[in-house]
A and B are shown apart, each in its own frame.
Chain A
Amino acid sequence: MIRKPIPQSWRVGLGVASFLLLIGAYSYLSHRQLEENPDDRSIPSWSRLWSDGVVRVFTPNEHTGEVWIWQDFQATFRERLLAGMLVGVGVSLLVGLLMGCYDPLEAFFLPPLAFLAKIPPVAMLAVFFVLVGSGFEMYVTMIAFGIVPVLAQSIYHAAKDDVPDELLHKAYTLGASQMESIYNVIYKQTLPRIIDGVRLQVGPAMVYLIAAEWIAADVGFGYHLRLQSRLLDMSVVYVYLIVLGAVGFFLDFVLTRLRLWLCPWYGH
């Protein structure tokens, strides 16, 4: 039956089962591959994955004392992704809200945003190279350029369509100024949509960042993934992919909690 609810225990059980299925499928494929060729490194066994992957990636280097993945994590997430998202979200918020409030700004910004949203940012890498070089600024520009056209448009639609004129008129009768109408009514009411929009852009932002790091970086997840893929060191690659997934999952979780905390009224 369509939409027939299931008990919570079933829900959890099925979720765990799907993960177990993935693990089982991997184990089977790895076993079959190693039976054919014991030296194969494309689908390593769990023990190899641990010794060649996890241990190597998380153990400090004997000479420098640095941990690979920690260095990459710092570069990719704490510096590049954070800065890129902050700039991208800030610009989108400003442009999106103003477009939703004022028709002239909507007319001015909408065509270029709709156009830019259609160009894959990865394809514009050469342009970013030329404009801002290949350093930290390039990653920030890449992420910001990638998410602004989509995020600004979604904030603009939320600001324009989610807040009925009646509520704005009512705010005026309660003595609201224009700034107060924007902040206290439009921004407050669209906040959950904004947070959801940001949440949905974390994935694409990571795609752009990893792509840029793949090409230009000397530290970071993208850089190491490229290096280890070339060496066919799949144990390391799989560990990196799992960490990437886990970080993405964590960010998603944090933003969902943030929405629940800031907008308890939403979703009733």
Chain B
Amino acid sequence: MTDHVLECQNVGHWFGKTRVLHDVNLKIVRGEIVAVVGPSGCGKSTLLRAILGTHPPKAGAVLMNGEPVTSPGRARGIVYQRYSLFPFLTAQENVAFGPMLDRTTLPFRFLRSLGAARRMHKEHLNLAAEMLEKVKLGNALKRYPAEMSGGMCQRVAIAQALVMKPQIILLDEPFGALDEATREELQAMLLGLYQENLDAKRAGDPPPYTILIVTHELHEAIYVSDRVAGLSQYWAWDQAGHVSAPGATIVYDAVAPVFHPDEPREFGEFLEQREEIRSTVFEPEVPELPGKHLRFWKEIEAGKGPGVLSLSE
């Protein structure tokens, strides 16, 4: 049985007369890294906010474990491009912040000087230190966000999300503001997490990390994910009987090759797929009804997927 973590069911959204999302359907399986790409203004962020729960969709529903998502909660972690950390906490405190909020109450924390509360606080800091070690920031525990580079901040933000063990982590253009070398490092880090997923799956355990990454970088989308979904406002809605543009929908959904973090990057390998996504998702001139390029589930059935889904259940 496929373990669905999250499902967008006929999701639609609009602001006044501006239609943004139309009939978006997306099922995400535990252990996947799904990249959502699309032209600017297509509603990627709106979809992400609907999934996060801060702006629930006006039509359809986002379901987690069968329950509709109506507000942000600890089942979904988030990493933003900007404002990714609490500026008044050090790297370690930022990561310990979640466990602290999650496992202690406000009055309890006021008693921090007492034994039990102090021990607990220390426990959370230790947990945070371990997590920062994992993202290779063990030497920056005491630094404030303003004292770290953009890449370090994003690492901390990812550790902050990981430490909560949410069912799904949402990444909103997380590496958009970083230089090329740092971006590549962080992409490799995501691939490392995916390898942990594969190891867990092989050992018969549920894969620990499910990630949805929104990006405008096609190379990044194909490289870090095992599945690319294209959201676009460019499709033949007139052929579907609409008299005006109904908003963006999923026009592309296919497996992506899985890379090992230590493998040299061969962008040539996915040039073909990149071109296909570009012409299907980003090209305003060749509208067609979505369907032809929604082949992800067929590919999985045909055993094409190289990722967590292809390993025997």
Chain A residues with a Cβ under 8 A of chain B: 164-167, 169-177, 179-180, 183-185, 188-189, 191, 263-266, 268
Q: Are A185 and B98 in contact (CB under 8 A)?
A: no
Q: Is B73 interfacial (CB-CB < 8 Å)? A: yes
Given A174-B97, A174-B102, A265-B87, A169 contacting B74 (CB threshold 8 A): no
Q: Which B residue's beta carbon lies closest to that of A190? A: B88
Known interface pairs A189-B88, A265-B146; A175-B83 also in contact (CB < 8 Å):
no
Contacting pair A170 B80 (CB below 8 A):
yes
A173 touches B166 (CB 8 A): yes
State the B residues within 8 Å of A (CB). Answer: 52, 54, 71-74, 76-78, 80, 82-84, 86-90, 97-98, 101-102, 106, 144-147, 160-161, 164, 166
| A183, B98: Cα distance in complex, Å | 15
Closest to A191 in B: B88
14 chain-A/chain-B pairs, Cβ below 8 angstroms? A166-B82, A167-B86, A169-B52, A170-B78, A171-B101, A172-B71, A172-B72, A174-B102, A175-B102, A180-B106, A184-B106, A265-B88, A266-B88, A268-B146
Chain A residues positioned under 8 Å from B54 (CB to CB): 165, 169
Task: Across the interface, name the chain B residue whose C-beta is closest to A176.
Answer: B101
A173 touches B73 (CB 8 A): yes
A interface majority secondary structure:
helix
Most chain A CB neighbours (cut-off 10 Å) among B80, B88, B102: B88
Would you call B144 and A174 a contact (CB within 8 A)?
A: no
Q: How far is the CA of A176 from the CA of B106 in the complex (A)?
A: 10
Besides A166-B83, A265-B144, 20 new A-B residue pairs in contact (Cβ under 8 A), listed by A number = A164-B83, A169-B52, A170-B80, A170-B84, A172-B71, A172-B74, A173-B74, A173-B78, A173-B161, A173-B164, A174-B74, A174-B102, A174-B164, A175-B74, A175-B101, A175-B164, A180-B106, A191-B88, A265-B90, A265-B145
Query: Inside 8 A of B147's CB, which chain A residues have their CB?
Result: 268
Given A169-B54, A174-B74, A265-B88, the answer on whether A179 and B82 have CB atoms closer than 8 Å is: no
Q: Which of chain B's residues have a CB closer than 8 A to the CB of A166?
A: 80, 82-83
- Which 10 pairs show the lowest CB-CB distances between chains A and B? A174-B98, A268-B146, A175-B102, A172-B72, A166-B83, A265-B144, A175-B74, A164-B83, A175-B101, A176-B101
**B89 contacts across to A, CB distance below 8 A:** 265
- Closest Cβ of chain B: how far from A97's Cβ, in Å? 15
**Which residues of B have CB within 8 Å of A177?**
106
In angstroms, Cα B86 to Cα A185, docked, is 8
Least distance between A99 CB and chain B CB atoms (Å): 21
Q: Write out the residue numbers on chain B whose beta carbons fall within 8 Å of the beta carbon of A175.
A: 73-74, 98, 101-102, 164
Whole-angstrom distance between the alpha carbons of A265 and B142 in the complex?
Answer: 11
Bound Cα distance from A183 to B108, whole angstroms: 14
- When distances are taken between beta carbons in the complex, the residues of chain B under 8 Å from A165 are 54
Most chain A beta carbons < 10 A, residue from B54, B86, B90, B160: B86
Across the interface, name the chain A residue whose C-beta is closest to B97: A174
Q: How far is the CA of A177 from the CA of B166 in the complex (A)?
A: 17
Q: Would A173 and B101 count as touching, CB distance under 8 A? A: no
Give every chain B residue within 8 A of A188 (Cβ-Cβ).
86, 88
B106 near A169: Cβ-Cβ < 8 Å? no
Question: For residue A263, which residues in chain B have a CB less than 8 angstroms away from its CB?
Answer: 88
Provide the residues of chain A in CB contact with B90, threshold 8 Å. Answer: 265
Enumerate chain B residues within 8 angstroms of A170, measured Cβ to Cβ.
78, 80, 83-84, 86
Which partner residue on chain B sits nearest A264 by CB separation? B144
Interchain CB contact under 8 A, A173 and B87: no
**Distance in Å: Cβ of A170 to nearest Cβ of chain B:** 6
Name the residue among A166, A171, A173, A180 with the largest chain B CB count within 10 angstroms. A173
Of B73, B87, B98, chain A has the most CB atoms within 10 Å of the CB of B87
Given A265-B88, A268-B144, A268-B147, A173 and B77 touching (CB < 8 A)?
yes
* B106–A183 CB distance below 8 A: yes
Q: Report how far A3 CA is from B246 CA in the complex, Å.
A: 54
Residue of A nearest to B77 (CB): A173
Q: How far is the CA of A188 from the CA of B73 in the complex (A)?
A: 21
Does the CB pair B86–A172 fall under 8 Å?
A: no
User: How far apart are the CA atoms of A189 and B88 in the complex, in Å?
Assistant: 6
Interface core residue of A166, A184, A265 (most chain B CB under 10 Å):
A265
CA distance A268 to B54 in the complex (A): 31
Q: Which residue of B lies closest to A165 (CB)?
A: B54
| A173 in contact with B82 (CB, 8 Å) | no
User: How far is it, in angstroms, between the C-alpha of A268 and the C-alpha of B102 when the chains are bound?
Assistant: 29
A179 touches B88 (CB 8 A): no
